[in-house]
Amino acid sequence: MPSSVDIDGLVSYLISSLVDHPEDVRITKRDGEHGIVYEVATNPEDTGKVIGRQGRVIKAVRTLVRAAASLAGTDATVEVLD
Q: Are 78 and 28 in contact (CB under 8 A)?
A: no
In CATH, the architecture of 7-80 is: 2-Layer Sandwich (3.30)
Q: Are 57 and 19 in contact (CB under 8 A)?
A: no
Q: What pLDDT does 56 receive? A: 97
Query: Cα-flanking dihedrals φ and ψ of residue 15, to 5°?
Result: -70, -45
Calculate what percentage of the chain has a pLDDT beyond 70: 96
Q: What pLDDT does 12 receive? A: 96
Domain boundaries, the chain: 7-80
Q: What is the pTM of this model?
A: 0.90
Q: What pLDDT does 3 receive? A: 55
